[in-house]
Amino acid sequence: GAVVSQHPSWVICKSGTSVKIECRSLDFQATTMFWYRQFPKQSLMLMATSNEGSKATYEQGVEKDKFLINHASLTLSTLTVTSAHPEDSSFYICSARDRNQDRLHFGNGTRLTVT
Amino acid sequence: DAKTTQPTSMDCAEGRAANLPCNHSTISGNEYVYWYRQIHSQGPQYIIHGLKNNETNEMASLIITEDRKSSTLILPHATLRDTAVYYCIVRDASGGSNYKLTFGKGTLLTVNP
């Protein structure tokens, strides 16, 4: 079945540094990918919609200059958390739309810890 | 705005059927009902979806009421590995950015030995 690979699965970084998270669709092309964030004991919150070849659409309250999204190909979207702070520590999850199966497939998430 | 209402938690005995309810009384005619689950510290996993007919696949069955205001996800023989948070989501049938899924709080299903 369709698989979405997310890398890294976990990362620890120091405050003020930037972290890049990759999301790849392995056996299907994804013109649209979505980035979510999940804090402990809470549900997934949509951050932004990533469209191949165009600018991402951010949800209200999400800083586009802090969370940079690039969707340069039909199989890869990246999320860069710039100038990370401890409050950015969270579980980041991407998903990709499989048009052939009319559903979203999710990656296994990236646990970010900012010290 | 929450489009779906689910119980916070449910328990089920291993080997028995798990029936997870979901209310979506404001669903419109072009909205699908999707079910995903999330096992601890993993990404959500697709289970099943439907528009108005009942659906069945290798994982579960989805029963949608005739008025489409509620649905039930049925796991026919629950196992310990089915312990997870189950999310019922309604989604607009049109494409593009409307394809995004908005997650509620879901139901924590605990399957007991």
pLDDT tens track for A26-56: 988 888 899 999 999 999 999 999 888 888 9
| Chain A contact residues (CB < 8 Å to B) | 4, 6, 32, 34, 36, 43-46, 49, 51, 57, 91, 93, 95, 97, 102-109, 111
Q: What is each CA distance from B63 to B78, B87, B91, in whole angstroms? A: 17, 15, 17
Q: Hunting for tokens 């709080």 — which residue is that?
A: B105
Question: Is B6 a residue whose pLDDT tops 80?
Answer: yes
What pLDDT is recorded for position B66? 94
Q: B107 and B10 in contact (C-beta within 8 Å)? A: yes
pLDDT tens column, A67-84: 999 988 889 999 999 999
pLDDT at B89: 95
Beta strands A45-51; A67-73: pairing state: unpaired
List Cβ neighbours of A31 (8 Å cut-off, separation of 6 or more): A51, A52, A74, A97, A99
